[in-house]
Amino acid sequence: MIGPLSVPFARGTVSDVPGVQQDKAVLRSRLLAARSGVPTDERKEAARLIRDTLLDLPALQMAGTVAAYYSVGTEPDTRALVYALWKRGTYVLLPLLRPDGDLDWASYEGPDSLVPGPRGLREPAEPPRGTDAVARADVVLAPALAVDRAGNRLGRGGGSYDRALARVGPLIPVIALLYDAELLSRVPAEPHDTPVRAAVRPGSGITWLPVPADARGGI
């Protein structure tokens, strides 16, 4: 799995947006470089462990609808997870990237229901359900490059998931999928950033966020 990262401590704050954006760019670059160095067999094992952890999670076992995503590049692979959720009868929504950068959603109906989308994505060919469809999911699985102990999430910088997650109610589990070293002590955040409620990692399982202060020494 990805080993410990050497990352700069974020100097920006929510009132220092230019500094925050620079900190995000530096951290994003380091995380992407670390991911690119992970061997293929380790990626496969990470995907298997994350899949098994999530399939055993009571919140997902009881969920009628799950908003997920179809991984690309060096992201923790979600293809087997999405297929397994669908096969056991879960209604799975996957995102459709709109020209304005927002996310619409459509149902996953098996691997053959996907078509090429923008930016190398695979998207459902089913009819769009609207940008608010994510608000009706019982669980949301979100991509991330890193998450911190408060739940702040670092994405790829496009803002699509920040807009989507802002529509999700406060009681809905939003779970970021990470490699082991990507739960950090701090991630630079801006006012529009929407925190997640949990992170799943291959070697550590589920971590619910925010992490209580008396439990932080172990992360």
Cα separations in angstroms, 196 against 38, 82, 147: 25, 20, 8
- Residue 122 clears pLDDT 60, i.e. is over it: yes
- Residue 1 clears pLDDT 80, i.e. is over it: no
Most confident of 67-81, 110-124, 186-200: 67-81
- The neighbouring-strand residues paired with 114 are 124
Using only C-alpha atoms, the chain has a radius of gyration, in whole angstroms, of: 16
Read off the pTM.
0.89
Average of per-residue pLDDT across 99-128: 93
Give tens-digit pLDDT for 133-187: 999 999 999 999 999 999 999 998 888 999 999 999 999 999 999 999 999 999 9
Model confidence at 15, pLDDT cuts 50, 70, 90, reads very low
- Residue 12 clears pLDDT 50, i.e. is over it: no
**What value does the mean pLDDT of the chain take?**
90
Model confidence at 49, pLDDT cuts 50, 70, 90, reads very high
pLDDT for position 6? 40
Model confidence at 3, pLDDT cuts 50, 70, 90, reads very low
DSSP 30-41: HHHHHHHTS-HH
- Residue 110 clears pLDDT 80, i.e. is over it: yes
**β-pairing verdict for 153-154 and 146-148:** antiparallel
Percent over 90 (pLDDT), the chain:
79
- Residue 193 clears pLDDT 50, i.e. is over it: yes
Total residues found in the chain within this entry: 219
Strand segments, DSSP code E, in the chain are: 65-67, 91-97, 103-107, 114-116, 122-124, 139-143, 146-148, 153-154, 174-177, 183-184, 198-201, 205-208
CATH 3.40.50.80 fits 17-211, yes or no: no
Give tens-digit pLDDT for 63-97: 999 999 999 999 999 999 999 999 999 999 999 99
- C-alpha–C-alpha distance, residues 48 and 172, integer Å: 24
